[in-house]
Structure 1
Amino acid sequence: MSILEVPGARLHYATHGTGPLLLLIPGAGGDRGVFTRIAEQLAPHYTVVTYDRRGFSRSGLVGPQDYDHRLQADADDARRLIEHLGDEPATVFGASSGGIVALELVTAHPTVVRTLVPYEPPAVRELPDGQEWVDFFHEVYDLYRTSGPEAAIKQFRARAFAESDRQTMAHVADAQASEYVRANARYWFEHELRQYPAHSLDLGTLAAHAGRIVPMAGRESRGRPCYEVSVELGRRLGRDVIEMPGGHVGFVAHPAEFAAELVHALASNRRAPGTGGFTS
């Protein structure tokens, strides 16, 4: 475990394997542990970097925070990690709200990104019924305030995710019960649940980098909002969505299969014409 000092936080990160840099950005809960098993599978192909996002688990905050620009700070943290660990653009995989961070990263700092994989980002503003989903996330937050995190998380998962994902999420929560879990949940409820899904993507800027963006979604997530966001993002950017094993947390439930298909998809994108001019 290593530490990178950044403005307003101390990022705890770890590296695995050798090869081109691959940064994995976690979603809700912000803990790098969600990538433990897939990082092992990817390590023969990449130098895999996992980290706790600022405010979660070991990545403590330092001083006052600008919560009106927290997403931009998250993206800047990713940029600083990439620049700290190498002098070449990195491949970036962002899961769930980590996918929104990844999209903000390529929007604001495109020179540090070789290939970007937004995996089921919950940017529901891009959906025709997006406001209904934004309203739902506010309802979940209100339930958290009145009835506590367990009731709110149950409602959140029941509507937003497939049954297979709900089972995996519950198993991960039980297995990773630690001093960080409750604090991570509180931080996510207060600063991310409502804010990140309501963020409007800069589709004009993203279109300029479409060749290096590889939207992905889980096969078992079809019909769920995060899957539909990936489809809409692909449509807007003129990119096919690659379906992966499992659902929203398929990289947890099926790490070996997921890693194998991810490596193949990234290799195929590098070989494709018009993919941003980077090679690895």
Structure 2
Amino acid sequence: MTAPTTGTLRADGATLHYEVRGRGPLLLLVPGGSGGAASFDGVADDLAAEYTVATYDPRGMSRSTLDDPGAGQCVAEHADDALRILDLLSPAQPALVFGSSSGAIAAVHLLATRPERVRRLVAHEPPLVEVLPDAPVHRALLARVQETFRTRGLMPAMAEFAAGLKAEDGEDTPAAAPAPTAATTPADTPAPRAGVELPPGAAARAERTMANLPYFVERIVPAFMGHAPDVDRLAAVSDRLVLAGGRDSRGELPYRPAAFLAERLGLDLVHFPGGHTGLTTHPGEFAVTLREALRG
């Protein structure tokens, strides 16, 4: 693994930690879940052979600190953080962007509001559940997760959330939630599947992301999954948007908004290896598919 160049960048109410490696056109990787720049360790070096790859820790997570640790979060502010990094590293040219899960939600907002700064966006399973016909079911899930977090604590809330993410095609959360572990963190920390061996470092990353989980559950999950994108704006820039889902997560909640939006916008849904956490479980194949999606 190549050691990246690291830096910090001031934003409104936060100091962002970012990392850069490689040479070529700028590719900004926007992490999701409770992870950060480290969630791209499995693909960043590979992609850096062709691109200048920038990764960062979202505000409030890991090395990106908030001025006010109790500050509420919103998608627009996180999208503005991504914009600041683009402006720093590629001030004269629009950049390529990839976002995963909640990071994809921020990236979609960036494309919708500042399309002149985005050359192409690949959005992998953004859980934009407000676009779905059964959105009230998922609002109820988010309310249960928040209530469980307040009354019973982090791990029961994560179990409730993980079960809701697996519920298919509008089904409500199953009565029996899976036992919570570090692996229930969506987006960058995979739940082990039978016959799939996690790559080196994945277990250590899972442990590190546990420290971000309370912030993620309490402030990121409700703000991001309650966000309704401007679909008309997205339609106007759909030639720069690639919507993607995991081959193994068809029908699961994070997959469904991407499929729904692709159909509504007349786009092909691109399938990546693995499920919602394919970035971590299948890094080599994931990088190959991402390169293809970026080239169009």
Pairwise TM-score range, normalised by the shorter structure: 0.7 to 0.9
Q: Is 2:145 the partner of 1:145?
A: no
AA at the equivalent of 1:126: V
CA contact 2:149–2:218 (8 Å) conserved in 1: no
Which residue does 2:127 correspond to in 1? 122
Cα pair distance change 1:93/1:177, threshold 3 Å: closer
Q: Tell me the equivalent position of 2:174.
A: none
Please tell me whether residue 168 in structure 1 is matched to residue 168 in structure 2: no
CA–CA distance in 2 between the matches of 1:25 and 1:215? 15
Q: Map 1:96-111 onto structure 2 (within 5 A).
A: 96-111=101-116
Task: Check whether the contact 1:79–1:105 (CA below 8 A) recurs between aligned residues.
Answer: yes
Q: Do the aligned residues in 1 keep the contact of 2:14 with 2:65 (CA within 8 Å)?
A: yes
Q: How does 1:67-106 map to 2 (within 5 A)?
A: 67=72, 70-86=74-90, 87-106=92-111
Residue matched to 2:288? 260
**Code of the aligned partner of 2:236:** A
Q: What amino acid is aligned across from residue 176 of structure 1 in structure 2?
A: R
| 2:48 is aligned with 1:19 | no
TM-score by length of 1: 0.88
Looking at structure 2, the residues matched to 97 and 135 of structure 1 have their Cα atoms a distance apart, in angstroms, of: 19
Q: Helix, strand or coil for the counterpart of 1:28?
A: coil
Distance across 1 between alignment mates of 2:208 and 2:256: 34
| Paired residue type of 2:143 | H
* Residue pair 2:104, 2:125 contacting (<8 A) in 1 also: yes
Matches of 1:227 and 1:7, distance apart in 2: 32
CA RMSD of aligned residues (A): 2.2
Contact 2:83–2:110 (CA<8 Å) still a contact in 1?
yes
Aligned-partner residue type, residue 61 of structure 2: F
TM-score (norm 2): 0.83
Could you give the per-residue CA deviations for residues 28-73 of structure 1, whole angstroms, max 9, x where no partner exists? Answer: 2142211111112211121111100011111001258863x62111
Residues of 1 paired with 2:138 and 2:68: CA distance?
A: 33
Counting aligned pairs with the same residue, the percent is 40
- Are residue 51 (structure 1) and residue 51 (structure 2) matched? no
Alignment correspondent of 2:40: 35
Q: When the two structures are aligned, how many residues end up with a matched partner?
A: 265
What are the Cα deviations for residues 236-259 of structure 1, in whole angstroms up to 9, with x where unaligned? Answer: 211110001000010110010010
Q: Could you say which structure has the higher helix fraction?
A: 1
